[in-house]
Each structure stands twice: as C-alpha cells, then as structure tokens.
Amino acid sequence: MNTARVYKDSNGVERTLCQMVKYEPEWAAKRIQAGEEAINSLQQLKSEITIFMNTVATNQGEHLQQNVDNFIERMQQLSAG
C-alpha cells in the first residue's frame, strides 16, 4: 500500500491516507464504496467479455451481429454506471 501519497482533508490540511481514515471517516467510507463499485463493474465487464468471446468462438453465424450489438449495448450500460 502506498502511504506516501498526500491527501487534503475538509479543512485543506495535508494528511496521509491513515490520517484521512482517522480524521475523515466519511471520506474514507465513500472511497471504499467507490472502489467496491469499480471492482464490481470490472467483474461484470469480465463476465460480459467472457460470454461474448465464447459466443464468437462458437461462430453462431446468423446471431453473431445481434450478439455484437448486445455486447456493445451492455458495455455502454456498464460504463454509464
């Protein structure tokens, strides 16, 4: 863990990550939740890519364009949040 990075608290005081957790617990909670959401989005993306690649690998000819379109739509939904 990189503890050398400097953050600024709500008063503009420079603090380490450990200090931010101690003095700004709401900030820390929001950062943790944002990180968890990012991890979940990446897991969903990995799953969607795996499904798409398996579809392409099986070469389902007439359904391939629809699968590509569905994949693109799903990726847009995931990136929108």
Report yes or no on 1 lying in a domain.
Answer: no
Q: What is the reported pLDDT for 75? A: 79
Query: Torsions phi, psi of 47, nearest 5?
Result: -65, -45
Where is pLDDT greater, at 81 or 75? 75
Report yes or no on 2 lying in a domain.
Answer: no
Q: Which residues of 21-46 are buried (b: 16+ CB within 10 A; e: fewer)?
A: eeebeeebeeeeeeeeeeeeeeeeee
Report yes or no on 16 lying in a domain.
Answer: yes
Domain count, the chain: 1
User: Range of 40's domain?
Assistant: 7-80
The pLDDT tens digits of the residues spanning 13-41 come to 999 999 999 999 999 999 999 999 999 98
**Distance (Å, rounded) from C-alpha 71 to C-alpha 81?**
16
